[in-house]
Amino acid sequence: MSNIQKLETVENVMRKIKIGKVVLNIGVGKSGEVLERAKKILEEISSQKPCPKKAKRTVRDFGIHRGEPIATMVTLRKDNALKTLKRILLAKGMRLPISSFDDRGSCSFGIKEHIEIPGTKYAPEIGIFGLNVSVLLERPGYRVSRRKRAKSKIGKTHRVNRDEAIEFFKEVLGVEVY
């Protein structure tokens, strides 16, 4: 076997795409008991404790004050991210529109009712909430842009583009992109 044939059979591990993180977000628009119910739903879906997000500015028409908690979110990584994402994609019927993908290899979509997700049950005292799901795909080596010491940029050829993200969702997760 020649060197050229060996290179063709060995895939570069630095080019392998993986799920960096999955972010689940529920925006309720007001604080109080409604926000606590949304936190319970996210904890049930993700098996992690969600954190509140505060309003950036005051909107008098909606009765929102700056600094008031109005949303809740949870960030999932590694195996928990993949497991939860597969459940959420089942709620979408394993189909995503091509408009959900951006040029940077990210995918975002919404779930209208959380009870569509397999494994979640309807509880009348909690109600029904919709949620936003954002998936960030990355390759090994993306840490150089996030680390504290010797921070650097990710080269254009190493970034995940839209076509590669769509191909990843089709092959690894079995999603139909329309």
Residues 119-142 have pLDDT tens digits of 888 888 888 888 999 999 999 988
- The pairs formed by 140-147 with CB atoms below 8 angstroms and a separation of 24 or more are 140/13, 140/14, 140/16, 140/18, 141/14, 142/20
Is the confidence at residue 105, as pLDDT, over 60? yes
Is the confidence at residue 5, as pLDDT, over 80? no
For the chain, what are the domain ranges?
A: 15-177
Quote the Cα angle for 153-98-96, to 5°. Answer: 110
Over the stretch 14-50, which tens digit does the pLDDT of each residue have? 888 889 999 999 988 877 888 888 888 888 888 889 9
Residue 51, classed as helix, strand or coil, is strand
Q: Which two tokens stand for residue 37?
A: 């119910």
CA distances from 150 to 67, 141, 145 (A): 34, 13, 9
The architecture CATH gives domain 15-177: 2-Layer Sandwich (3.30)
- Tell me, yes or no, if the pTM score tops 0.85: no
